Structure formats: C-alpha cells, structure tokens
Amino acid sequence: MSSRLNTSHSRHKLRAQGGARDSLLNPQHPYQSMKNVPPHYTIQSSTLTKQNSEIVRYKISPEKGTPSQLSLPPLEKPQSSLSMMNQADTFSYKSTPSYKQVQTMERHQKYEQILDSFLLNSLEGPIAQVIEETIGVTLDATTVTLWQDIPSLHMLYSKRLTRTVNHSSGLVGFTFFTREIVKSEQASQHNAYVESEDSLICPGNTQVLLFPLWDSENNICAVVEVTKQPGKPFFSDEDEDFILFFTKRFKIYSQWLFKPAFPQKFISDLSSVMELEQFLLVFQQRVPSFFNARAAEIWKYDMHNKELYRYDSRCTKIDENCAGIVWEAFQRECPINCSVNKMLSSYTPAIDGDISEAILVVPLVDIKKMVKWAIILRGHKGLPVFTQEDESLLREVSMSITISLDNADRFTQAGVGKNRSSLEHQCITSLENAADSLIQGVSLNEIVSRAIKNLENLTSADKSYLFFFDEQNKKYVCDDGHTKISLDQGKGIVGLTFNNSKIYNIPDVMSSTEYDMTPEIQTGYKAHSLLSVPLINNRKEVIAVLQLLNRRDQKPFSNIDVNFVKIISNLIGLLMENEKMFGISTQANKEVEEFIKSSNSMQKNSHVKTVLSEIVHSALETLNGDRASLFIHDKVVGVLSTLIVDGGELPQTIPMSHGIAATVANTGNPILVNDAYHDPRFNKMIDFHTGYKTQSVCAAPIMTNDEGVIGVIEVINKKNSNFSEKDILLLQSFATFCGTCLESKHLKDITERGTAQIEMAKWIGEYERNTYTIPFKLQIPTNKQSQLTSLDFFAVDWNGIGLFKVCFHVFSSFGLLERFKISNELFFTFLYRLRESYNEPPYHNWIHAIDVLQYVSYQCKITNADSILTHLELLAVCVAAICHDAGHEGYNNNYNINAQTPLGILFKDRSVMETYHCTVAIQILKNEESNILYALTHNELQIIWKWIIHLILATDMANHFKLIKQAEETLEQGALNLKNESDRLMAMELIMKVADISNVSRPFKYADQWCEVLSEEFWRQGDSEKSLGLPYSGPLMNREQSTNKAKGQVNFYTFLCLPLYKVIARIFPELTVNLESMQNNLKHWEQLVAEQEAAAKLQDGEDKFAEQPVQTSQREPQRILETSLSALKLNINVK
C-alpha cells in the first residue's frame, strides 16, 4: 500500500457535543471538583422475579470527574430474569470483570493520573506550555505545538514559535476546518500539506498527528500538532483513545484554564488618586509592559463638543478627520484587532506611525456622559498579533482604566492652582537661599547639599542620590553619606540619563527593564518611584545625575516636580562647573610653576641625582600623591633599579617579571590604577616588605630617542581622590624632563669616560654600579671557579670579557673591593683603562697580565698567604700583577737601549720597560675615574706605591739571580719570618717573579703554546733589529736559525726557572706542586731533545755527540742562558 493510502483521518470524529450529558458536571474549581468525585460508584438494581426476590449489587469504576455512562433500566417495569441477565451482559455487569474490561479500567486510571498532573501544572505555568508538555510526554512525541485561535483575525498562533497560521492554510488550518483528528506517517504526503506553512514543524517525512480542542461553548479554541521523527512507532489506537479522553475533559475545564486572572494589582495601581500626568506615567509604564506591547494610548471623544483627545505621555487634542484607526473603532463601536495596521483603510501614518505592526483597539461608550473611550495597544513584542486572550483581557480592564483617567483629570483640575502656587513659592525661596550662600562664601559642597535637601522637600521625595562619573574606573559613583554606590558605565537609569541627557520619570522601577538594582543591593534601600535628572554644564555636557526616590505619598513624581527639579538642577550644574573650572585654573598654575621649577633645576644644578630628585618631588606635588619614585631600567641585569624615592623606602631592585612599574618598562605605556590590590599586574610583595598600603598608582615610562624605555617614574596614593587621565599626561611631562636629564648624563659620561661607559652598560646594571658585589653578568659559574685556583688555567680561553671576570673574582675573593670601597663602576673603569694601555704584541699583552694575576692569586690561596699578608699588601701585589707589563710594545730592554728608542734614552741606566710600566700605572691610578686607591689614607698611599713599584721593578730579569741569592741567604739563617715586613716583601717579590714566568709550570699543552707565542714575539723583535741593522739580541731572535725550541726550553728551565721554583718551594712547601709540574715539563722537553738528536744521528750518520751531555762545552750553558735571558728582558752576565 502506498504512503498516500496510509494517510487517513482517524477512526474517531470529534464533533461538538452539546447534549445534557456534557453539562451534568459543573464544578466551581476543576481540580477541587475532580477530587470530590469518589473513587467508584456503587450502583444498586433491585428486581423481583417469579422464583425469588434478590438485590443485585454491581461495582464499577467509571471515569473520574465525569458522569456515569450507564443507562439503567426503569424500576417501575419489572423484567424477567432472562431479560435482566441479558441487560447485565450488555452493560458488563458481572461480578468478575473480563480481561478487556480490566485493561480498559487500568488505561482510564492512567489517563486520570495524567489529567491530575495536567491540572496541577496548569495552576503553576502557562497553559500552552503545560498542554504541549503533557501531550509530548504521553504520546512520546518529538514536538508538540499548541495553535490557539484568534477568531477576530481568523488565525491561529503559537506562543512557543511566535508564529501565526490562517484558518484555511496547511495542516493546522485543515484540522481547524474539518474538526477531526488528522494524522499521516509522512506529513508531506497529506493533501493539505503546504510546504511554506508546515515544513518548519514537520518536514516531509515527519510523522504528524493533529487534533482540535473545544472550549465549553462548543467552539474550537485551539489545534494541537504532534510530530514524531521517522523510525519511531506511529501513533496508535491507544494514543487516539487518550486524545479523545483529553479533548472531552479539556472542554469541561476550558472556561477556567483559558480564562486569565483579573489583574487586580495592576488596576489598583492605576486607580490610586493622583494627578493626570502622574496617572499617564503609570499608564505608560504598566499597560505596555502588562500586554507586552510597544506602546499604549487612551483616546477620548467628547460627543457633545465634538472634541477628540489622545492620552499617551500627555494629553493632545487631535482633529477627528485625521484620527486614523481609532476613529474607525469609534464609528463602528466594536473592537479592531489587526495583524498589520497598514492593511486597514483608516490607517493614517501621522497618527498610527510608519511601522508595520499589530494593533488592538477596544472602544467603550458612556451614553450618560456622551463620551467615547478607546484603549489602543500598538505592536506586540512577542507575537506578530494580539491574541484572543489579549483582546478579552483588555475588554475587562478598559473600563477601570478610563474611570481612573477621568478621576485623575478631575483631581488635577481641582487642586492644581493652589498646589502650584505653594510649590513655586518654595522653589523661589530655595533659589534665594542658594544665592545667599554664594555671597556668604559657603563651600560648594554645602550649597549643593542644601539645594538637594530643598528639592526633596519640594517633591516630597524620601531619598536622593547624586551620581558622578569616575573616568578612571569607568563607573558611576555616589556617596550618600553612609554607603558608597558604584554602577558600571551605561547601566541602569543613571546610565540612560548620562548618555541621553534626558529626564526620566519612572513611576515603578520594578516595571522598568532598564532599572539596575545595584543601589538597592549596596544600600538596602528599596526604590519604587524614581526621578532621574541630568546636571548639565554650559557646554551641554552631563557632569552629574541627580536621582529623587519614592514620593512620600507613594505616587509618581509629577510634571510640576520635574519642572522644579530642572530649575534647581541647572543651578547646581552651573555652580559645580564653575568650581571645577576654578580648580582647573588653580591646578594649571601650580603645574606651570612645577614645570618651571624642574626646568630651572636642570639648568642650575649639575648633579644629576639632585635634579632628578627635584623633578620627582615636583611630580609628587603636582599630582597630589603620597609617595613618588624613579626607577632605572637595568637592561644588563634585567631589573628596575631604584634611583629616587620621595617618601618611604623601596627595595634596591624590582623584578621585571611583575609589578606596575615593570609592566610600564616592558610595554612602554603609562598605567593608571585606582584599585591596586584588584589589579593582577600589581606586585603586593613590595607592600608586604615595606608595610605600606598602596591604593592607587600612576606610572609613566622615561624614554630617550635611541634607547627606548630607560626608566619609570611613579606616583602612588593620590590624596582624597583617584588618579585621572589628566594625571597620566602630567606625569608623562615630568617623565620627559627625567629622560632629558638622564640622556644628558649619559652623553656626559661618554664624553668623560669614553667607550668605557658604553662597554660598562653591557655588563653592569645601574643598581650594581655602586655596589661591591660582583655584577651578575661578570660572575664566573661555580663549575669554572676551580680553574682560578689551579695550574690548569689557560688565559687565552678567557679572552674578552672573561678576563674582566677573572679580575673581579680575584679581587673579590680577597675582599679588596669592599675593603677599599672600590665600586663595580670604578673597578670596571680602572680595568678598562688599564686594558687600553696594553698594546697587542704576541706575548706581553693584556692576556699575559691576567695570567700573572691568576697565578699570584693561586699561590696566595694554596699557601694561605692571603691570611698572612695584610689587605693592603694583597692589593699591592694584585695591582702590580695586572700593571706589570702595561704599555709593553713587545721589545725587551736590550732592544730599547740598542735602538735608542725614547724609552731607552729616558731610562738607560735603569730597568727600561719596568720603569715605563710603573709610569703607565701611575697615570691610570691618578685619574679620578679609575683611581681604585682613592679611599686610602696618605700614609697608606705612600706604603702601597712603594710596594707596587718595587714589585713591578722586581720583574726585571736583571734582578733575577740577585733575588734568588737573597732568598737563599735568608733561608740559610732560618725560615722567613712573615711577621717581618721585609721578609713579607721578599715573599711577595718571589710570588710575583714566579707568576711572571708561570708558563713553565702549567700543564705541558699550555706551556708549549705559550712557548710558541713567546717565540713569535722574539722573531718580531729580531725582524725589527735586522731592519735597523742591529745585531740580534740573541740566537732566539733569528727567525731562520731559531729551530731547536726544545733545546732552548731545556736550558731555560734548568738554569733560570728551576732555582727560582726551588727557593720559593722552600719558603712555601705548598708550592712544591708547582716545582714538580715544572720538572715534569722539563723532562718532556729533554725527551724531545733526545728524540730530535736521535733522529739527526740516524739521518747524518754522525755519532760524535752520542756519549756527550746536552751541554757540549763549558761555554755552551753560559751561551744558552744568556740567550734566554736576553730574549726575555735584558742581557746579564752570569758568573
């Protein structure tokens, strides 16, 4: 069978049944009547038979809440027993019901339970929703839609879908027309299916069932549309049985289910005695809200005078010839309900508006007074039409509304003259009082307070609020003297008043969708009526909003109230604006004075920190803050360094990871915060450590043209108010002053200190400059620090900033920086200047200087000499170590004398290069910016200079054997007495001497590399001697002949180094390890010599040197030693 054949009407036809049986039950309350029905009836039938007489009792359970369907036989006509039994069979009067009867009884009991639940739910929720939910659950439906009838429009509407359909359109219209159950397994296969109408609820293959509902007057009041998804079981006969049961019961109860409750409270509010404008306010708020309409109007036609009036927010006289739709209703004297106003022939745009919308007009005629009234609703907000329920309800309340309006009009005409005269007198008195207060010099706050109090008396207001706009927090704020009120921008009636600059008179705030209950929550005061008035300045800007709450007579505020409030509020607004302008003028003068003061300070004072302190204080005064500070962005360390603090204390550094100032430095944008503890960027730990409570913060970046953000200026806790955007602009101006000042200081530093300042900025942070702790970027990692106290140190690997790190580590390890107040900035500048003094020969350069310093430190540490020598002596030996070759050009003393260089001529009779090294060191240490000896007393300076010069001169190889001999002679008399100054000086000389030729005791891989470097410097000197026509200072200077490096090293180690290392090992046994290391290297060189000689013997076949030692003659050791010494510094005679 095709799907078309499966589409059919129900086997049941629901015709309107108006017989007596339907009217037997007429309960006063449907649910209560249903409960009064007993659970079963006991029906008795007594009959006399020929055989005997008996009483037969039958017990059945009919449907709850309905009359019995049984037709009992008349008792006055006795029947035979057989006839009696046949009748009993017909009506199922059996002592034991059949299985089918039991099923029927159980099904009906189930239906009764569903009906119970339905009726209970109808007392609590919208009837349409309850019907849809009940049918949906019972029939296991996908959707259920109730279409309610609007007879006057010939339409049905769904509240859930907010849609309408015509009586003759689609499946819904077909069901309404046929008044039968309609069902189809595929909705689109039904002849009445209309794609445009039905597809929204039941697409093509949806299962659908529709049935009508009757009201108690036998009219179809609704159509129920039920759908199921394809694949679900189709609607069964049992479903249809329930529908029949439900429609029958619904008909009985419909007069209570669909009858809306009379709006008693609504009518009571409108019926209160009040003036006309107050009534219209209440009407305009309550009626549109109650009917969910866009607008509502009352029309009055005086038939005697032929005058037509419209009442909306005011009373307006209208020409009857252009009154529009309402005039048609007056003429026809019947309601008009239309879904589109423009479809009516009487539509007039000037009266009925340009919007296409629904309209409902209900007219009334007062024959006695010869007056016609009409209530109009325009534009339903939830549906495209006004419903039958709307129409019925409007009919019920229209008479009460018109009577209330007439009463309000009479009340207004009776008392308006007297009241207005009294109120006007009070208003004039209030203005006179305000003028007197101004003359007497009363403060603005007091004048405003008095004016608002007078307004409360004039309008009979119970309370008032004065709201201002907080620009910073974007909130409306009010302080009523007890509680501070805060509203978000744009919220509530306050927001509307601020934004629209209009007066809002709200008779019932709870009926207003714009009302914000925040003030009630924050204060506990409940508002009913409200008058909200903007306070406007002379530029038509809203500067505040005044709100009057709750007339004491519980009526809305009248138009007279509004007029008085407008007059006095304008006065308040002008006074407040004048006060504000005076304050701005005063503040502007103060700002100019502070700017001039800052500018003058920059011109007069050369000390940068003093200038910055004055600028920060000016910023503090101008912004009226409690404390201020200036931070320098230390890009080296990655922190903010505290430079200036005006009030209180702050940590020396602030991390860049979090905090208001850090955020400003990172982003380059100013920040204004008036509730610091609720701002996630705020660093609470600073307050925790200082014990200070930060509430508001205003911070701006200090910038330069080239480097971007170099610092932050910050003012905290503005007194008596919050920071504003203007404060940010002012602080940025002061930040510009600070930036100019700091940039000038930076340029001055570069001018005075040259590139040292630029280089220092890479490695030392601002806050680290004046400390004595090793700067973070110049610290040596822990795992590398052990190299500085061992022989396994190769200075070449530390070239660059690493050599500075070694210096900082050595001096710091001896406590010299802190002991002699040598700041990081001073020490870095000293090292930088010293490094600049070193030239770049292959060997005697800056790297060699640090190599010697490390070896001095190493010897002092392992011998515990650092605890024996005084701090002054340690400073002397360390300074001598890094200065001992300053200015060295790679040529020894012999060369300078033979070549007649300026140094050779100047210092001919003394140690040429060593003396020159002393002069270079003196020049650097005399300069203020690099004088690390500045903190010493005059006596200490004399002592330390003597030691430094003595130690540098001791590095002259001409004094080599003399120093060894003195040490040996001293040791022959006993151990050195290190408590004796001369013995300590000898120990220092020996430590210095060993460090100067320490390469021989380094691991062989380093000793060999140093030998190569030194050879290159020798050859460089030899090339110069050759070009000048001078004899070579020694064989090692000749690049072509100096090929036997190993043999030269064996002689150098044996005759020059070994005696020195042995004598210092006798003084400091701990240095035996150095001696042993040097001896191991010597063996290595000897092995190389042996290998070279063996190779030469094999090559030449000569064996004349096979049994001879390395020294081939008595003159050979002397010649090699002289060559080595000559190569180092100066030729000497060894006897």
Whole-angstrom Cα distance, residue 708 to residue 668? 8
Whole-angstrom Cα distance, residue 844 to residue 836? 14
Helix ranges (H only) for 123-205 are: 127-138, 170-178, 195-198
Whole-angstrom Cα distance, residue 1077 to residue 1099? 33
Whole-angstrom Cα distance, residue 482 to residue 589? 35
Q: List the one residue out of 428, 325, 419, 435 whose CA is nearest residue 377.
A: 325
Please, which residues bridge with residue 372 across strands?
301, 365
Active-site residue 844, yes or no? yes
Burial of 207 from C-beta contacts in 10 A (0-12 / 13-18 / 19+) = buried
Contact 376, 354 (CB under 8 A): no
Burial of 345 from C-beta contacts in 10 A (0-12 / 13-18 / 19+) = exposed
Q: Which residues contact 814 (CB under 8 A, 6 or more apart)?
A: 857, 860, 866, 871, 874, 875, 878
Contact 614, 641 (CB under 8 A): no
* Greatest Cα pair distance in the chain: 178
Contact 489, 474 (CB under 8 A): yes
Helix ranges (H only) for 483-558 are: 492-500, 518-523
> Which DSSP category does 78 fall into?
-
Strand, helix or coil for residue 476 = strand
Please give the distance of CA 934 from its chain centroid, rounded to a whole number.
52
Given the residues 617, 844, 888, 917, the one annotated as active site? 844
Whole-angstrom Cα distance, residue 551 to residue 557? 7
Contact 732, 483 (CB under 8 A): no
Contact 926, 933 (CB under 8 A): no
Residue 20 CB neighbour total at 10 angstroms: 7
Contact 779, 805 (CB under 8 A): yes
Consult the annotation and say whether 844 binds a ligand.
yes
Consult the annotation and say whether 885 binds a ligand.
yes
Tell me whether strands 671-673 and 697-704 are parallel, antiparallel or unpaired.
Answer: antiparallel
Consult the annotation and say whether 1049 binds a ligand.
yes
Question: Which helix or strand (DSSP H or E) is residue 873 part of?
Answer: helix 871-883
Q: How far is CA 512 from CA 191, 383, 852, in A?
A: 49, 21, 90
Radius of gyration of the chain (CA): 56
> Which DSSP category does 502 fall into?
-
Beta-strand runs (E) in 53-119: 53-60
Angle at 1006 between CA 1000 and CA 1011, to 5 degrees: 60
Whole-angstrom Cα distance, residue 241 to residue 243? 5
Consult the annotation and say whether 846 binds a ligand.
yes
Return the half-sphere exposure (C-beta side, CA atoms, 13 A cut-off) of residue 893: 25
Angle at 552 between CA 548 and CA 553, to 5 degrees: 125
Q: List the one residue out of 633, 638, 696, 628 whose CA is nearest residue 668.
A: 633
Whole-angstrom Cα distance, residue 498 to residue 545? 7
Please give the distance of CA 175 from its chain centroid, rounded to a whole number.
59
Q: List the one residue out of 282, 301, 724 whose CA is nearest residue 506.
A: 282
Whole-angstrom Cα distance, residue 866 to residue 815? 10
Consult the annotation and say whether 848 binds a ligand.
yes
Whole-angstrom Cα distance, residue 991 to residue 978? 13
Angle at 186 between CA 182 and CA 192, to 5 degrees: 50
Q: List the one residue out of 879, 874, 876 whose CA is nearest residue 813.
A: 874
Residues with catalytic function:
844
Annotated binding site: 844-848, 884-885, 996, 1049
Annotated binding site for Zn(2+): 848, 884-885, 996
Annotated binding site for AMP: 844-848, 885, 996, 1049
